[in-house]
Amino acid sequence: MTSPLKVLVTGSRGQLGFELQRSCPAHVTLVATDRDTLDICDPTQVRTALTRHQPDWVINGAAYTAVDKAESDPVNAERINALAPGLLAQAIGDARKEGLPTRLLQVSTDFVFDGLQATPWLPDQPTGTPIGVYGTTKLAGEQAVRQILTDALIVRTAWLYSIHGNNFVKSMLRLMRDKPQLGVVVDQTGSPTWAGTLALTLWGLIDHQARGVFHCSDNGVASWYDFAVAIQEEALNLGLLEQAIPVRPIRSADYPTPARRPAYSVMDKSGTEQVLGQTLPHWRVSLRTMLQQLKMETAHA
């Protein structure tokens, strides 16, 4: 029988926070916090939360995730993505001196890599230099955590989506309803990840008392163009779209954004699957599951 745990989650209003609450195991007491109830950039608030709740684990799902906006707002991106994880780690380290054995799970991103190789990124290999403010600050957050807590658990993910919040899948559905055709980038490659897969993976890694760096995404490889085509096909099959529109592949150069994206973001998940004792689902299966949930939610709205 799995031992009871208390887990404090930051960023509870985000996509991952939503799915963590939906999939919370029966043996876990979950304390969900957001920026209104816990400012992770405030050391006093962090220490107070640890003393009050005395969690076994803290899952830091809070992040500055507006990749393009971060380029013009680096101060806030660094404060939330780099400084706050270090504050959390320091507060947990201090709490341990008083007998509280809290562990930290820091959620990170494929953007910590420079995207310049063509084989899946391993958890322990050098990241290279991230190509934007978002990736740079997330990598700094990882480094701050690992410097303070040698047993920290860091889980990198990529291309996240859910029925909750704003994401690529929901944006594509909206545009496919409103536009006569779409152009979608074909020269960026990664692995789409349903936040439900990530949430279940985090619960599994916690139950196995994992430590170190792990990767989590759904299996398989796709470009954003491939992903968009699949979204339209699955949505048509489920009746979420009434008719198909042309979707054409374009280059990144044809769709300039303030922040560059890694060209190759596929991550090696074999270590994660070995610890969990199971294979992560293919991204197309997870996409279908998410769209089915979206259809049910729409029907009940």
β-strand pairing of 189-190 with 222-223 = antiparallel
Q: How far apart are CA 38 and CA 163, in angstroms?
A: 24
Q: What are phi and psi of 7, to 5 degrees?
A: -125, 125
Q: Which two tokens stand for residue 94?
A: 């201090």
**Which pair of tokens denotes residue 33?**
């916090």
- Cα–chain-centroid distance for residue 163? 14
Catalytic (active site) residue 134: yes
* Residue whose C-alpha is closest to residue 275's, from 193, 215, 231, 222: 215
Catalytic residue among 64, 134, 225, 264: 134
**Active-site residue set:** 134
